[in-house]
Structure formats: structure tokens, C-alpha cells
Structure 1
Amino acid sequence: MDPAPVTPELLDAATRWSSWSWWGLIAFGIIAAITAIATVAFTFIQFWSGGVLGRHSEWRTATLERETARANERTAELQKEAEAAKLEQERLRQLLAWRRLTADQMKKLVDELTGITFPVTLQVNNADPEATRFAADIGEVFQQAGISYEKKTAIVFSDDPIPGLRVYGRADEVHRIADPFHRLGIAIDGQQKDADLVFHVAAKPPPKP
């Protein structure tokens, strides 16, 4: 008999490694299959979770946009309310503030009224402190302009007296004394009457709406 081409030890080693390699192929095949399945599964999960996160992001963005729009609307409303409150405060300030002649107004009135020679009666409701104070400013103007005037007080009991400044007298005299006030933007009502001029200081008119 011819001798065997391999030794028994080499044959045993080859047998063992053949068996191990077979099981290795099976094991790593299973691992490869699991890896492929896991790759597909994780890819699907990524796709699914990305869609969920995308929808949530869109919802959150839309919600933030709505909340921002509501906040902007509320800000606009608050600004309108603040403007209305400011206008109301100004209306109340004008309503409560006393009428006064500024130094510049007094100087201009003195310059224009200087030279008047006809007598003037300055009449005021002494029950109205605001009108009395304003009449004092006008009286000071008359005095500095060299106007001969007499101050008279009267108590007005009417529930609705005519407010503001009124001048009664002859037409030329009314214009001579009322026009300088008009040019300064001070409202004054002139009425023609065949008598010496009366300059009446009544209650402060209500502010215009």
C-alpha cells in the first residue's frame, strides 16, 4: 500500500478547521442577515421618526406663528389703548388747566392795545376762581397798555352760563380790542351794542371733542 499523502495530525487539524469554518460561516451569515435586517429596520425607523419630527416641527412653527400673530394684535390693541388713554389725559388736562396768558402773549397784546382811549369795563364772575385769575391777566394787559378800565364783579347763578370771553360795545371798539386776541388764537365773541365797551370773562369753555 502506498503511504498516505498527509500525516494523521495534519488530517485531524484540517478536519477540525473545516468544521469550525463551517460553523463560522453559518454564524457570520446569521450576523450578516441580522445586520441587513437591522439596517432595513433602522432605515425605516429613521424615515418614520423623521416624518413624525417633521410634522411636529411644522405644527410647532404654525403654533408659534399664530401666537406671534395674536401677540402682535394684542400689542396693536395695547398701543391703541395707550394712545386713547393719552388723548383722554390730554383732554382732562385741558379741562382742568386754568386759562393764563403767557408772557409773550401779554407783550403782544400790550403792543397792539396801546393807544386805546375809550373806556373799558372788565367784568368777571367772582364765583369762578379760574375766570377771576384769567381776568387778572387781562387786567394787567390793560394796565400796561394804558387802557382806562374799571373792573366789576358779578355772580352768575345760571346753571349753564355762556362760557368764554365776550366783548359788548360799539362795532369799531369791539374790533379794536377783540382782534388782537383773535390773532393770538384766543377765542373771543364780539357783539355790537350801542354802549361803552364791556369785556366779560366767563367760565372756561369745555374742550372741543
Structure 2
Amino acid sequence: MAPKGKSGFFGVRQKPSGNWGVEFSDAGRRWWIGTYPSAHEAARAYDMAVWRAERPRSHLNFPEIETRAEAEMLVPQGINMKEITTKKKTKKPSVVVSAGETEEVAMARFAREHPEYIQAELEYYWKCEAEQKKKGPKKEDEAGPSTVIPIDSSSEEDWADFSNEEEEEEEGCDDPTKEEFSAQFRSSDDEE
């Protein structure tokens, strides 16, 4: 049995909104009864849950109430018990790298000891990959229209100088290693 809280009643606590919430525990399970405008009404709802669970009269906020029917009449809107479930989070074990062990060996050991995590990770990535295929390519992967940026040239001569430089580079190569590579490449083409 929960001790009486600040409200002065079992199972009743004030919510930040100013209303009063009712929670009830029975056989290791927790139930949410509801929210009421006053602590007194919330305590009556708690008592109704005690009557339904057939708990001892010592658990009642109002032990002077003689019957379950009388308790239910004092809570005209009734109660709607919803079980409060808590999801227990399982903590993924850590990968511990022992002295003298490489990260690769530690990861392989982890994979052998915990195949369920490896499988779950693979399934997650497969799911993400499938969703990405449904959505199509990302915005940055899509080729957009080309943008032409006009260049203001002061004269035709600037362009002429530029085109002559390119032609000179293509004709010959000053780097002897490039010449050797080029010769080898040409000779391998001739053999085929």
C-alpha cells in the first residue's frame, strides 16, 4: 500500500496543470485511473479501484463507505483504468578491446558473442537503403541545370592567348617521365 502523499490521500498526486491524478497498483501492475479537478474526487476514484480489486478496507481513503455500490455512486463519471507499462530498455553490451588485441579482433569477437546485434544492425541498414531507393536520389545527387556565367573580356587578345597556351601543352610534354610512360603506352597498343 502506497503511503499517503502531499494530497493526504492514497494514490493521488497533483499534476502541473493543477488537476489531481490517480494511480493504483495491484499485484505488481500499475494502473492509471484518471485526472480529476479536486483531490477529494481523485481519492474517491482511487477507492473505487480498491473496491474493484477487492483489497482490504485499510487501503481505502474513505473507510466509512460501506459498499462498492456506494463508492461507485460517489464517482459519477466512473473510472477508466489503463495499465501503465514501462518499456525496459536493454543496454547493448560494449565492445571491450583487451590489451594486445586489435580493434578488428575485438569486433569479430563481439560479432560471435552477440550475433543478434549484428543482424539487427544489418536489417536497419537494409531498411534505410530500401527507403532511400523508394524516395529516389538525394537533392545534392541530382544533376541540376548548368549555369552559364558570362565572362566579360577586355579584348579578343585575352582569348587568343588562352587558346594558344592549351595548344602548346597538348603538342609536347616537358616531363621526361610522362614521355616514357606515353611511349610505353603507345608500344603496348601496337602489340595488341
TM-score > 0.5 by shorter chain? no
Task: Report the TM-score range of the alignment, normalised by the length of the smaller protein.
Answer: under 0.3
Structure 1 or 2: more helix by fraction: 1
Q: TM-score, structure 2 length as denominator?
A: 0.20
| Bigger Rg, which one | 1
Highest RCO, 1 vs 2 (Cα 8 Å, sep ≥ 6): 1
Q: TM-score, structure 1 length as denominator?
A: 0.19
